[in-house]
Chains A and B, each alone.
Chain A
Amino acid sequence: MKLQQNTRLALYSLLEFAADPERQISAAEIAQKYAVSSHHLAKVLAELSRVGMVQSVRGVGGGYRFVGNARRLTLMDVISRFEEMLPTENTHQQLTPVGQALASVLSEIDEIAKASMSSITLETMLHIAERFHV
């Protein structure tokens, strides 16, 4: 499963916020950490704010903070906000026996990916990330 940049930015940001839910983190700080443009990240954060996963805090020391439930919010909950999850349209090739056989094998992979993404919460991701801390 290849994720678009917006989806990856949303996940990076949410994990930064969820790691320390009391702290307000600015978009600039996250943009610098992940080497992306603040402008691009601002759009992603606006969407996360719109769906109630983060809250924008105005004023000095303002930024964003996590307001979701890290024990319940899964990777799939976030991914489905940013990725097109519709099944691909059937082309002529996909309706042939070989095309259908290939589609059935590819769907196996998709199903496993979906099961993984649906079962990993942000809290679990934070635990996994701890293994990579040096």
Chain B
Amino acid sequence: MCGCPIISTLTEEPIVELNDVGVKYPGNIQALEHITLKISKGNFVGLIGPNGAGKSTLLSVILGIVKPTTGYVRLFGKPISPQSLRKIGYVPQEPYSKGSNFPASVYETVLMGRIPYSRPFPWFGREDHRKVEEALKRLDIEDLKNRKIGELSGGQTQRVFTAKALVGEPKMLIFDEPTSGVDSEAKKEFYSILEQLNRDFGITTILSIHDLGVVTKLARTIICINRTLYFDGLTTGFNSNVILPKVYNFAVEVIKHGDHP
């Protein structure tokens, strides 16, 4: 999967740039320390690390949800702004909690992805609706559009929120452990959609995930963190036997058994 164009895409101007980023949470908890990295256009990045390694914090920093205590972040060559955030589609770990019982239909949920690009007042334009239909089709969930989101399975929910992220025509997609609670068949299909989006539309993708098997199969480069950066480079150059024992503190066996089906 890692063909020749990698080198050329990797030399392009970075979409995400982190310089010596550190995050300290209240209570003196150092979540991230000295993270310096770049993500270039069109790349498919696998973000790995143990539980509590700061993967979600790192994504939150890129999304401007958490402000770094030290260092800085640049998106598309500029400091984070509402304009730059609009170019990013984000699918959180638990995009919708069933307990919230929010009364949205699938169509409405996907349409919400258009909100940052549309005018005030309750109406959406023809263009907005067209993009929603397109995204529903691409993720093969047209038949679900009138369902309430609370009634969907884990895999269906994940597709709905990926469609919602897509309608903003993002330059970059960020997934935070998207397949927790999704059965293995649905996982496979979901990953092949991500692969397609990256290949056909050149959408830069960051996928935070536990499953090392999936990462080595999908990602062109790997970022491995546990509070600090342990690896940032081509998947082909990722020597799991050397790096993982350091990062996971000898918990490697467990991770390896969880390989992609």
A binds B: no
